[in-house]
Amino acid sequence: MSEARTPAGLEPAAADTLPVGVGAGLAADPGATSDVSTDVSADVTTDVAAGPPVPLVPLAKSPGVLADDTVAEAGRKVLRFHLARMIAREPGTRLGRDPEELHGMRVATRRMRAAWRVFGDGFRADRTKRFRRRLRTVAGRLGAVRDRDVLIEALETYQAALPDREAAAIEPLIEAWRSQRDEARELLLHELDSDAYRRWLDDYREFTLHDGLAVTPSSPTSPHRVRDVFPARIWQAYGQVRAYEPVLRWADVATLHELRIAAKRLRYTLEFVRETLGPETAPLVARIVALQDHLGLLNDADVAATLARTFLVEHAGELDEFETQVIGRYLVTREQAVTRLRRTVGGPWRGVAGPGFRRALGRLTADL
């Protein structure tokens, strides 16, 4: 195997220099190699139908984060873990036969963007900004397709329960959303086929595989290990969620969407270091997911209602009266769903905001 290339401008800090080679970041953790999938045997995939050669990162069962890891190297492990999953989903995303392939690729990019927020201060911003910027672009292209997939799937489920005449009448809305999805997919494929994306992926891969690259210098006595930094970081993320308590009863959809983002960030902060935490992590994450999913359904219903209303306005002169009525009834069902989900948010909220959750969170962070 040829010697791995170090991306320009990402030379390791002198104090953190390690022997480098493909997989060096995994080998630094004595137990990590046992988690690496044995079916990864090459640096690139050459499946022509899947597009240009894609550099691979070893697929592991878990990131392998340790409490004594520095924030930077814990972050690098998390980034490597999710980059491997992003790459693994790219061929299926290109083919476009299974929406779950694109969904998985999008999830991986979102997790990496969250990891940059959580661990980003461990790296030099001037040397890693290009990684974060391109990742945002890729995530945006994936998100544009996925958002339409979700809308179409929900509308097709609604359509399947309608009588034949009504099912036909709602087809113009579905076709409009399919057209938007197809346009977004063309932009996504253009991005994935670009030379800029390939260069980014090559360099980003090398960054995630090699310890010490672009690390922010720190003194031995400053908080720099996971066990030093993450108790406070976890509680700060929880505080961002609990801050919505005074306004929750009156919160509008936009505010509840912001709460969903805060809940998601709390969840990711816990999940990224869950290997260093106790067994109570899983039930706490499950409570956060319940709140996040409830708010996600609310957001989906609100988006569907908004887009259906826009479609009715923009195509008022093209739709016949029956099509307008059927699409209008779908719009009303989405508005009713928003009202219902706003009214019932208290249940999943109490699962996260209650004293039992805080006591369990305290035990987790105390054990770090």
Phi-psi region of 23 (alpha: psi -120 to 50; beta: other; left: phi over 0): left
Q: What is the predicted pLDDT for the residue at 52?
A: 58
Q: What is the pLDDT of residues 56-77, one digit of tens each?
A: 788 999 999 999 999 999 999 9
* Mean pLDDT across 247-251: 96
Q: What is the predicted pLDDT for the residue at 30?
A: 29
Confidence of residue 245 (pLDDT cuts 50, 70, 90): very high
pLDDT above 70: percentage of residues in the chain: 85
Confidence of residue 262 (pLDDT cuts 50, 70, 90): very high
* Mean pLDDT across 293-316: 98
Angle at 38 between CA 40 and CA 199, to 5 degrees: 20
Residue 52 per-residue DSSP state: S
For each of the domains in the chain, give its residue range(s) and CATH number, in order of start: 13-216 (1.40.20.10), 223-368 (1.40.20.10)
Residue 328 and residue 252 in contact, taking contact as beta carbons nearer than 8 Å: no
Q: What is the predicted pLDDT for the residue at 51?
A: 58
Q: What's the mean per-residue pLDDT of the chain?
A: 88
Q: What is the pLDDT of residues 120-168, one digit of tens each?
A: 999 999 999 999 999 999 999 999 999 999 999 999 999 999 999 999 9
